Structures are given as C-alpha cells and as structure tokens.
Amino acid sequence: MANVRVTMEVGNDGVAVIKISNPPVNALAPIIIAALKEKYKEAMNRDDVKAVVLMGEKGRFSGGFDINVFQKVHKSGDLSALPNVSVDLVVNTMEDGKKPSVAAIEGLALGGGLELAMGCHARIAAPKAQLGLPELTLGVIPGFGGTQRLPRLIGMKKAVEMMLTSKPIMSEEGNKLGLIDAVVPSGELLKVARAWALDIAEKRKPWISSLRRTDRLGSLSEVREILKVARQQAKRTAANLPQHQTCIDVIEEGVVFGGYSGVLKEAIVFNDLVLSNTSKGLVHTFLAQRAISKIPNVTDIGLKPRQIKKVAVIGGGLMGSGIVTALLLGNISVVLKEINTEYLQKGMKTIEGNLRGLVTRGKLTQDKAEKALSRLKGALDYSEFKNVDLVIEAVIESVPLKQSIFSEIEKICPPHCILASNTSTIDLNTVGEKTNAKDRIVGAHFFSPAHVMPLLEIIRTNNTSPQTILDLMAVGKTIKKVPVVVRNCTGFAVNRTFFPYTQGAHVLANLGVDVFRLDRVISNFGLPVGPFQLQDLAGYGVAMAVSKEFAASFPDRTFQSPLVDLLIKSGRNGKNNGKGYYIYEKGSKPKPDLSVLPIIKESIRITNIMPDGKPISVSDQDILEMILFPVVNEACRCLDEGIVVRASDLDVASVLGMSFPSYRGGIVFWADLVGPQHIYTSLKKWSEVYGSFFKPSEFLEKRAMKGIPLSAPASTSESSRSRM
Ligand SMILES: NC(=O)c1ccc[n+]([C@@H]2O[C@H](COP(=O)([O-])OP(=O)(O)OC[C@H]3O[C@@H](n4cnc5c(N)ncnc54)[C@H](O)[C@@H]3O)[C@@H](O)[C@H]2O)c1
Ligand SMILES: *[C@@H]1O[C@H](CO)[C@@H](O)[C@H](O)[C@H]1NC(C)=O
Ligand SMILES: *[C@@H]1O[C@H](CO)[C@@H](O)[C@H](O)[C@H]1NC(C)=O
Ligand SMILES: *[C@@H]1O[C@H](CO)[C@@H](O)[C@H](O)[C@H]1NC(C)=O
Ligand SMILES: *[C@@H]1O[C@H](CO)[C@@H](O)[C@H](O)[C@H]1NC(C)=O
Ligand SMILES: *[C@@H]1O[C@H](CO)[C@@H](O)[C@H](O)[C@H]1NC(C)=O
Ligand SMILES: *[C@@H]1O[C@H](CO)[C@@H](O)[C@H](O)[C@H]1NC(C)=O
Ligand SMILES: *[C@@H]1O[C@H](CO)[C@@H](O)[C@H](O)[C@H]1NC(C)=O
Ligand SMILES: *[C@@H]1O[C@H](CO)[C@@H](O)[C@H](O)[C@H]1NC(C)=O
C-alpha cells in the first residue's frame, strides 16, 4: 500500500503542498487522516513554511471518507475505527492553525473531501470539478463540519438543498455561490493556489474561517422557515430515513448556538447514524453494486472486453424496441430486424416514442435524441448482420422460430459475434441446438421498459464462454445497466426470488386480510407499491402467465389463488383498462375500488383456507413477515442452487429489479438483520397452520440452526447440493 500516503513538499516560496494519494478517488482512509495530521503538524512547526496548499493526486481532490471503513464499523459495531477529524483535524489543526490553507480542487471534492476543502481558508478549483455532500445517500450526515460550513459559505437555502438531495454542483456554479474563490485552468491551479495562500499569509487577502462566518446565514426566522419547509419535504420524500431530519436539526443547532456547537452536535449525531440500520443498508447496497461486476473465472483471468460497435436486435416488439432504445442511448449503432415493413415501422415508431418521451421529461436533449436515432437502421433481412458484434433476439417464445433464427444468424454473423436471446421459458441449449456456437450463446433478460429499468440479468449456460459473459457485461455497463450474471432457473434471480411475494399476498387475502391494508403495509415498509397494485400495473395477463410458469416449476410451494381469474372474468384488467383492485383515472391517484370486495369474498369461498371460517387476525408486522419471509425463503433456495455468484448479488437484484428499498440493503441483507432464526421459526409455525407454501427450505433451516448468516459464502461441507 505504498501508494496510499500523504506527501508534503515545501517550495522556495514557503508554501507546503500537501498531497493526498489513495487511488482511484483519494478516499480518506484512517491512515490518510493520520498522515494528514502529521504533515500539517510539521508544516505548522517548520520555520520555512508560511502557508499550505492541500490537493489530491492524479487530478482528483478527494471522493470523501473511505466507505469501506463504514462497513468495517458496521460489522464490528466499534466506533473507534472512525478517526477524530472534525475537531482535531479540521477545526484545531487546519482552520485555527497559525498558517493559512488553500484547497486546490480538481476532478471531485465530495463528502469528506469537500469538508476538508471548506476547512481551508480559500478554495481554488479547476473547471468542471464536482462538489457535493452526498453523505445522506449513505445514511449518515456530513461529519467533518460540512453541515455548518456549507450554509455559512453559500447560504442556507442552497446548502440545505445540496445536502438533502446529495446532488453535486460544478466548480463554475460553486464559484457563483461563494463556495469556490476562483476557477482557473487546470494547468494553473497549483500556481494560483500557492500565490493565494501566500497572499493570505501576508495579509494581502482576507484570512477567512468558514465556521466563524455568519454574513450569509440570514436571520434566524428566515432560517427557521427554510428548515421548516425542508422538514416537511423530507417527511414526504424520505419517510423512513432518519438522516434527513437529523441533518436539519444539526444545521439548526449551529445557527442557534454557533458553528462550533453545531460541529459538536454533528459529531454526536454522526456516530448515532453510523450505527443505524439505514446506514448499514445503504453502505451495503453501495458496495454490493461494486462487487457485482466481479465474476470468478470471468473477470479475474486476464480477459479484456472486446469492443462492441454494432448490435443487431431481432424483433421490434415492446421488449425489442426498449432494448434498441437503450443501446442507441449508449452510443451503439443498431440494426433492427423485423419480418415485414408494417412491424418494422411499428418498432421504429416505438423507439422514436421512447426517445421523445425522454426529451419531454427533460432527461435527454433534442440533439442527442436525433443523434441516437441516426445510429439506427431498420432491416428485413440479415444482410446488415455481416459485421455485427452482438445479436439480441427478442421474438416471441417459440422453439422452432428461435432455433431457425439462431442457425441462420450463425452462418451470417462474424465468428466472434455474441448470440443473445431474451427467452425465459425456452432452454438456451435448445435454442442453440442447431448451431456450433454454444460458447457464444447467452441469455439477456431486460426488465420492462428496457430503456428505463436499470437491471440486466445475464444468463450463462454451462457452455457460455467467459469472454462472451465479459463482453455482454461490458455492453450492459455501456448502456448504463447493472449486469447480474446468473445461472438459469425459472424466473432467473429476480422473478424467482419474488414469486412468493405475490403468492404470499394472495394467501393473506384468502385468509381474509384486507388487500388495501396489505398494500399499505408493504409501501410503508418502502416498496413503491404493494403487491396488488403491482399486479394492476403489470396487467392480469402477465400475472396469469407468470404464475402458471411458477406453478409448473414449484408445485410444492405454489398457492393456487383464483382471484386474478375472477377479476378478469368480471371485466377487470388492472391499470390497462382503468379497473383493477384500484380505480385508475387520468390525473388522480389510484383509489381503492371497494367493488372488488365481493370478488375477493368469492375467492375466499372457493379456496376455503380460513382456519375457523373466520378472517385471521394479524398485526401489520405479521403481514410484513408473512409476505417477505417466503421471499427470503426462496432467496435461500437461489443461494443454495448457486443461481447467483454471491448473496449480495441478490441484494442488488432485489433493489434494482423489484425496487426493494436500498436503505434496507436488499432482501438477503435485510433477512440477516432480522435474523435467520426468527425467519425460520416463523415460517415453520405458519407452514404447520397454513400449509407448505411457508415450509422453510433446507438452506434456511441449516443456517438458522447453526447461527450462520444467510449471506455467508457456502462452504462445501454445508452445501446440500454437494451432498446430493
Ligand atoms: N463519503 C461519502 O459521503 C460518499 C462518497 C462517495 C459516494 N457517495 C455516494 O454514494 C452514491 C452511489 O454512487 P454511484 O455508485 O452512483 O456513483 P459512482 O460509482 O460514480 O461513485 C460515486 C463516487 O463514489 C466515490 N467512491 C467510490 N468508492 C469510494 C470509496 N471506497 N471511498 C470513498 N468514496 C468512494 C467516488 O468519489 C465516486 O465519484 C452516490 O450518491 C455517491 O455520491 C458518498
Ligand atoms: C476530538 O479531538 C478533540 C481535540 O483533540 C477533543 O477535544 C475531542 O474530545 C475529540 N473528540 C472525540 C469524539 O474523541
Ligand atoms: C475456476 O476454474 C477452475 C479451473 O477450471 C476451477 O477449478 C474452479 O473451481 C473455478 N472457480 C469457480 C469459482 O468457479
Ligand atoms: C422477449 O421479447 C418479446 C418481444 O418483445 C416479448 O414478447 C417477450 O416477453 C420477451 N421475453 C422476456 C422474458 O422478457
Ligand atoms: C460515439 O461513437 C462515435 C463513433 O462510434 C464516436 O466518434 C463518439 O466519440 C462517441 N461518443 C461518445 C459520447 O462516446
Ligand atoms: C431455465 O430452466 C427452466 C427450468 O429448468 C427451463 O424450463 C428453461 O427452459 C430454462 N431457460 C433457459 C433460458 O435456459
Ligand atoms: C451444469 O454444470 C453443473 C455443475 O457442473 C451441473 O450440476 C449441471 O447439471 C449442468 N447443467 C447442464 C444443463 O448440463
Ligand atoms: C418477470 O416478471 C415480469 C412481470 O411480473 C414479466 O413481465 C417478465 O416476463 C418476467 N420475466 C421472467 C424472466 O420470468
Ligand atoms: C435493525 O433492524 C432489525 C430488523 O428489522 C431490528 O430488529 C433492529 O431493532 C433494528 N435496529 C435498530 C437500531 O433500529
């Protein structure tokens, strides 16, 4: 770790340049903090030093406090791993030091990085550097004095906005706001910063301590009004997140009792928040998203992803056109192949519509939309396939159709071309049966709408080569998807894990629990909509098709609910026709439709599972557990069968594929917080009363008995697979 260090060079001008070096983002690890203190002490004590310039190596100031340290603290529960920065380093050593400091900012100054910069007496930045305090996205608040200094530098309103939204600004805007004293070309940054530091030391420029300023804060009543509005907004947008309200409290403390009191309160609150479930969940999700792109025997064997310049998509249906849209937005040239002019036109229209929709919502400029569209070519034959690097087939689920497509494209496409299918029900080996290209065949499962949803499931067979997987992962990243590499099973990682989610909700509905209450409990937990509204949104045709597939694959744990069928028979089809469990009217929020209640009664009569013919009595907590524990149970089966590479991949998949709340860390992480023993005992109890739907899996049982977290990697001795 020789390159993790802080260096100091003292020039003839009397300026000590202290440089942070911890690639790639110069994260502030404890050893960096300790080294910074040491260099600062030396600078303050040396007679030949008049002033300090603080900077980061390789064009980046600092990305902030090292997130891996948060994870260590979460695992150990020991706060002593967190260094004393806010008082000891920033206030006492830097801001109140006897020599002035100037921050020379390039690239990024985020989180703790920006907080160090604000502890300096001036900040000079290169153009387009990112400046922000994103700590709330990790479940904490700025902890090195940022809650106090940012409002004092740029005013309360903008400072509160920057902290609560976690959105960064560029140096140019920072300059206008007063966060940055000057923006200068990168090549002059150090020179200007040195001169500026000397100017302060020699009193040609003011020596300003951010924490002591009050000139930009506004009056107490103005501040209170801004904070009141922010509190109300956070209540709506961040209902389950403690860090938003406490951040506002800490800001207020500093305005009422002074910046230094604010810094002290900030330190106390920070320590409480670090140990919160929210922070544990958010930090886990952040690091899990980085871990997901490491695939053993694929990304660690020296292979390099090949460049994918041109892609062909076969089938311009809803899924195909979504995939094309995503590819075009990723600056990739696409050929869309359809079977006739009419379908081709329709596909092209959908793609144009997708792009226009993004422009309307301000997510894309008109110019970029046109450029994207110019990369698209329509085709009715395979002549354009001669030089494609990847084909994604997205036609209807038909074995002979897919087989003939694959044997044809094998002949025309270049020998390196990856052949991907979006199939879910047809075995990929069957799809590729008539080819000699089994190593290049792979599954690509997008979530609908494909140009919006962030997750991409990459399905490998035993024959898929590492290079093929690596290349498809690279394409996924280019088009801003998070690829999760999985092995095949019914529903792949996300639908498989979450099939009991809908099922559990239907069990409860048939046990007499109000469906609207069920939805409310789930959305209060943090999913965007409950299971019944989700069915409304997906459409009942999809619900029927998907549940049939699972019933066939997992008959031992499928609950046959007649409810959706009854709804269809009564003329309902969810949001599609405005009539589902809810009433959907343009311009108003979905309203519970009480006229479904007789239909639910009919379903209850048919299933006849209520123990004494009476609705069961359950608490909201019971409801949550009866819906989510079966999901955890299925996740356990996926882990046991090796569907994903590691448990945290299922966490990412659940967050990005099902919108499971990221602040709960994903399904497996959440389960481990709740405790495998409790989950096992509950499922076992319910399975005795309500049947095999709840029966705990072998994997869960074993982990619960041995007290091993579900997320722990399988050891060969305990894997039930290896014994079979
Ligand atoms: N210390 C902090 O408060 C902090 C630091 C970085 C990122 N975040 C936030 O986490 C969220 C997720 O980021 P993303 O994945 O969308 O974007 P991303 O992948 O671009 O990462 C965002 C930033 O994370 C930083 N980063 C990465 N690894 C780090 C580490 N080990 N220690 C410190 N910083 C590291 C980098 O500065 C990078 O610019 C973002 O909102 C980001 O702002 C918070
Ligand atoms: C941090 O250091 C300062 C000064 O050295 C000290 O007063 C303060 O108590 C320390 N805080 C903590 C939490 O250790
Ligand atoms: C990686 O490949 C080697 C050799 O083929 C094999 O022994 C090992 O089990 C593989 N590792 C994983 C994690 O698949
Ligand atoms: C594959 O694409 C076709 C055409 O758009 C679509 O009908 C089908 O549902 C898709 N399959 C999956 C599993 O998404
Ligand atoms: C997009 O691709 C073109 C040509 O393939 C290339 O010249 C251009 O730099 C790319 N743009 C971006 C933003 O990657
Ligand atoms: C995945 O596995 C299921 C069940 O074994 C099988 O029916 C299906 O065809 C397979 N799908 C793919 C894409 O290989
Ligand atoms: C794939 O390989 C695994 C492990 O070697 C094996 O258990 C499985 O049966 C194989 N699947 C197929 C479809 O051959
Ligand atoms: C997953 O479920 C969604 C909707 O619930 C459905 O549209 C999609 O086809 C399913 N995909 C797979 C691979 O089962
Ligand atoms: C964290 O979450 C678990 C599971 O929901 C809960 O039992 C525990 O009390 C929570 N801890 C805190 C500090 O909120």
Residues forming a β-bridge with 9? 17
Residue nearest to atom 32 of ligand 1 (CA): 66
Whether pLDDT at 721 is above 60: no
Whether pLDDT at 441 is above 80: yes
> Looking at residue 1, what is its pLDDT?
62
Tokens (6 digits) for 349: 């229209």
- Ligand in closest contact with the CA of 673: 9
Residue type, 81: A
Which stretches within 127-170 are classed as H helix? 146-154, 156-165
Q: Which letter does DSSP use for residue 713 in this model?
A: P
Please tell me if the CB atom of residue 464 comes closer than 6 angstroms to any atom of ligand 6.
Answer: no
Mean pLDDT of the chain: 96
Signed CA dihedral, 65, 69, 73, 79: sign only: negative
Please tell me if the CB atom of residue 610 comes closer than 6 angstroms to any atom of ligand 9.
Answer: no
Please tell me if the CB atom of residue 112 comes closer than 6 angstroms to any atom of ligand 1.
Answer: yes
- Ligand in closest contact with the CA of 547: 8
Please tell me if the CB atom of residue 143 comes closer than 6 angstroms to any atom of ligand 1.
Answer: no
- Ligand in closest contact with the CA of 674: 9
Q: Which residues are CB-neighbours of 324 under 8 A, at least 6 positions away?
A: 313, 316, 334, 336, 347, 351, 376
Alpha-carbon gap, residue 672 to 664, rounded angstroms:
11
Mean pLDDT of all residues in 8-32: 97
Q: Which residues are CB-neighbours of 722 under 8 A, at least 6 positions away?
A: 716
Please tell me if the CB atom of residue 134 comes closer than 6 angstroms to any atom of ligand 4.
Answer: no
DSSP 543-595: HHHHHHHHHHH-GGG-----HHHHHHHTT--BGGGTBSSEE--TTS--EE-GG
> Looking at residue 434, what is its pLDDT?
86
Residues 390-406 pLDDT 10s: 999 999 989 999 999 99
Signed CA dihedral, 153, 154, 155, 161: sign only: negative
Alpha-carbon gap, residue 61 to 570, rounded angstroms:
63
> Looking at residue 432, what is its pLDDT?
87
* Helices 259-274/242-257 angle, 10° precision: 160
Q: Residues 149, 115: contact at Cβ < 8 Å? A: yes
Residue nearest to atom 1 of ligand 3 (CA): 297
The ligand 2 atom nearest the CA atom of 92: 4
Q: For a pocket test of ligand 9, which of 673, 678, 682 has the largest count of ligand atoms closer than 8 A to its C-beta?
A: 673
Whether pLDDT at 295 is above 70: yes
> Looking at residue 718, what is its pLDDT?
52
> Looking at residue 77, what is its pLDDT?
95
The ligand 2 atom nearest the CA atom of 84: 1
Mean pLDDT of all residues in 324-338: 97
Mean pLDDT of all residues in 279-293: 98
Mean pLDDT of all residues in 167-186: 98
Catalytic residues: 115, 135
Whether pLDDT at 224 is above 60: yes
Alpha-carbon gap, residue 669 to 711, rounded angstroms:
7
> Looking at residue 715, what is its pLDDT?
73
- Ligand in closest contact with the CA of 460: 6
> Looking at residue 716, what is its pLDDT?
52
Mean pLDDT of all residues in 425-443: 92
Residues 641-672 pLDDT 10s: 999 999 999 999 999 999 999 999 999 999 99
Please tell me if the CB atom of residue 492 comes closer than 6 angstroms to any atom of ligand 8.
Answer: yes
Could you give the dihedral angle defined by the CA atoms of residues 201, 206, 208 and 212, in that order, rounded to the nearest 10 degrees? 130
Please tell me if the CB atom of residue 490 comes closer than 6 angstroms to any atom of ligand 8.
Answer: no
| Ligand 8 geometric centre to CA of 543 (Å) | 9
Q: Residues 375, 328: contact at Cβ < 8 Å? A: yes
> Looking at residue 722, what is its pLDDT?
39
Q: Residues 512, 609: contact at Cβ < 8 Å? A: no
Angle CA(161)–CA(167)–CA(169) in degrees, nearest 5?
95
Q: For a pocket test of ligand 9, which of 73, 277, 284 has the largest count of ligand atoms closer than 8 A to its C-beta?
A: 277
Q: For a pocket test of ligand 6, which of 395, 425, 637, 638 has the largest count of ligand atoms closer than 8 A to its C-beta?
A: 425
Mean pLDDT of all residues in 54-61: 97
Mean pLDDT of all residues in 145-171: 98
How many Cβ atoms sit within 10 Å of the Cβ of residue 222? 14
> Mind listing the domains of the chain with CATH numbers?
5-275 (3.90.226.10), 310-488 (3.40.50.720), 498-706 (1.10.1040.50)
pTM equals 0.93
Tokens (6 digits) for 663: 């602040």
Mean pLDDT of all residues in 579-608: 96
Residues 453-500 pLDDT 10s: 999 999 999 999 999 999 999 999 999 999 999 999 999 999 999 999
Share of the chain above pLDDT 70, in %: 98
